[in-house]
Chain A
Amino acid sequence: MANTEKIAVLKLIRELKKEVQGLKSDDANPSAGELETVFMILDDLEDEIIYNALEERVQEIENASTKLISVITEAKNKSAELDEIAKKINKVAEVLSKLVDIASKAASFI
């Protein structure tokens, strides 16, 4: 069913629900019990159309968000690379510190 058709059906269901609501609330109406059942059926139909429409839109959001995951993963990898560069700088600085310390101790023995 196309979207415009769904909307037209939805409008019709809502109009019927409104009519039935008025009739079933009338305590003097002998068919109030049956009308309540009709109201519930109409309510279920309305709910099904709404739920399906919402689910379709949520699916679209999920599809759009899935595409973004690859960009995030790539950016996270780059961030890990930068962390690695910082670690390497640390390592080089630590090694140089140790070398300087060793050279300094060696010089004191000479």
Chain B
Amino acid sequence: MYNQKIKLLKSKDTLQWWFLILLLSLTLASCAGILTKSQLTEIKKFSAASNAYSEYPGTVMKTHAGLSLNNQLTNASESKNGETALKNIYKGIEKKNKYNKLADRADKACEILKSYSSILQKLSSDQYINDTQASLEKLGKSLDKSIGEYNKLSNSSFSTFGGIIAATLRGVASIYIKTEQHKAIKKAVNEADPMIEDLSASIIKLLDLYVGEDGAQIIQSEKEDLENWYKDAGHKQPLSTTQWVAKELEAIDNLILLVNKSKIAATNLRDAHKTLLTKIQKKTDLKDSIEIIEILIDDVEAAKDLKDKIEG
């Protein structure tokens, strides 16, 4: 890939393009640094993981709220009188609503991870420099047009250079913007790291209440309540009740799995951010320099596309 890019650059307008690379390299040398491809990959990986993760704690809480209502309904089904049965139903609904509201609060708090990952993605995107493409293209075309007219009027034969000017401007702007992007991401990731650590620890502590060392064992307790009810009363009811209990027990086991996976994912999320921080903070070594040059070549190619477009 790298060799192909080099070949491509050697094939056409060699002198002009090496001049452009030299110019961009000089600009790069004067800059604090730009994001390497592996840093960009790390940001994308973290963003995808945190986006998906933000919904897990709320899902666990809402599933538990549903289980809680169902257990209350089992109590209602064996009540000795209608009034107590109805009381149990309303209590179940109230419990479910109460727990769902709490889940909504957790969801809202965890959504911050989505906002964080989306701003990291935006800061690492090419959007800023791509936004300048159209106006630079227009500038290049105007220059070429005026050179053409000048040649016609003065019987001269100056070659057009609008494309080169536009491409060079794009290259310089790109390096400047990318340096600023790198600085902003480095700062954000550095400052956010202890907060992400806190957030994932708090999420794990919450999930521990459902399944884990904490001792509250909320889900296990709901399971035991259902099992006890079935042993004492439920088994006397029609087959449909037994089928419902089987489904419910399966759902509880799946919820236990979800809690355990969510806890592992919260740890991974914290670790992924730590990896991102390490990669972002790492001083440029030879491998990174090659990556930076590859990005630079990508920029040169993008600039060349602009030049080719202008020159038709």
Which residues of B in the span 228-285 have a Cβ within 8 Å of any Cβ on A?
A: 228-229, 232-233
Write the chain B residue with the least CB distance to A47.
B95
Q: Is the CB of B195 within 8 A of A68?
A: yes
A27-41 Cβ-contact flags toward B at 8 Å (1 or 0): 000001100110110
Which residues of A in the span 50-84 have a Cβ within 8 Å of any Cβ on B?
A: 50-51, 53-55, 57-58, 60-65, 67-69, 71-72, 74-76, 78-79, 81-83
Q: Is the CB of B128 within 8 A of A86?
A: yes
Query: A1 contacts the other chain (Cβ, under 8 Å)?
Result: no
A12-24 Cβ-contact flags toward B at 8 Å (1 or 0): 0010011001101
Q: Is the CB of B228 within 8 A of A21?
A: yes
Q: Is the CB of A97 within 8 A of B142?
A: yes
Q: Is the CB of A75 within 8 A of B120?
A: yes
Q: Is the CB of A36 within 8 A of B143?
A: no
Which secondary structure dominates where chain A touches chain B? helix
Q: How far is the CA of A97 from the CA of B99 in the complex (A)?
A: 62
Query: B169 contacts the other chain (Cβ, under 8 Å)?
Result: yes
**Interface stretch (choices B28-36, B103-111, B297-305):** B103-111
Q: How many residues of A contact B (CB 8 A)?
A: 65
- Taking A10-B216, A83-B131 as contacts, is the C-beta distance between A101 and B146 under 8 angstroms? yes
Query: B119 contacts the other chain (Cβ, under 8 Å)?
Result: yes
Tell me, rounded to whole Å, the shortest Cβ–Cβ distance linking A71 to chain B: 5
- Taking A64-B198, A68-B112 as contacts, is the C-beta distance between A40 and B139 under 8 angstroms? no
By a CB distance below 8 angstroms, the chain A residues around B146 are 100-101, 103-104, 107
Pick from A25, A26, A37, A71 the residue with the most CB of B within 10 Å: A71
- Taking A18-B224, A79-B119, A89-B132 as contacts, is the C-beta distance between A25 and B196 under 8 angstroms? no
Q: Is the CB of A33 within 8 A of B81?
A: yes
By a CB distance below 8 angstroms, the chain B residues around A97 are 135, 138-139, 141-142
By a CB distance below 8 angstroms, the chain B residues around A58 are 102, 105-106, 109, 206
Partner of B110, one of A21, A61, A82: A61
| 22 A-B contact pairs sorted by A residue (CB < 8 Å) | A11-B215, A14-B224, A21-B229, A25-B78, A36-B84, A47-B95, A51-B102, A54-B209, A54-B218, A64-B109, A64-B195, A64-B201, A68-B112, A68-B199, A86-B128, A89-B136, A89-B173, A90-B131, A94-B139, A104-B142, A104-B149, A107-B149
Q: Is the CB of A93 within 8 A of B209?
A: no
Write the chain A residue with the least CB distance to B191.
A71
Write the chain B residue with the least CB distance to A67.
B195
B206-235 Cβ-contact flags toward A at 8 Å (1 or 0): 100100001110100100110011001100
Q: How many residues of B contact A (CB 8 A)?
A: 76
Query: How many residue pairs, one in A and one in B, have C-beta atoms under 8 Å apart?
Result: 196
By a CB distance below 8 angstroms, the chain A residues around B153 are 107-108
Q: How far is the CA of A86 from the CA of B109 in the complex (A)?
A: 33
B111-130 Cβ-contact flags toward A at 8 Å (1 or 0): 01001100110110000110
- Taking A79-B123, A107-B150 as contacts, is the C-beta distance between A68 and B61 under 8 angstroms? no
Tell me, rounded to whole Å, the shortest Cβ–Cβ distance linking B285 to chain A: 26
Q: Is the CB of A71 within 8 A of B188?
A: yes
Q: Is the CB of A108 within 8 A of B149?
A: yes
Q: Is the CB of B216 within 8 A of A79?
A: no
Query: B39 contacts the other chain (Cβ, under 8 Å)?
Result: no
Query: B192 contacts the other chain (Cβ, under 8 Å)?
Result: yes
Q: Is the CB of A75 within 8 A of B184?
A: yes
Q: Is the CB of A22 within 8 A of B119?
A: no
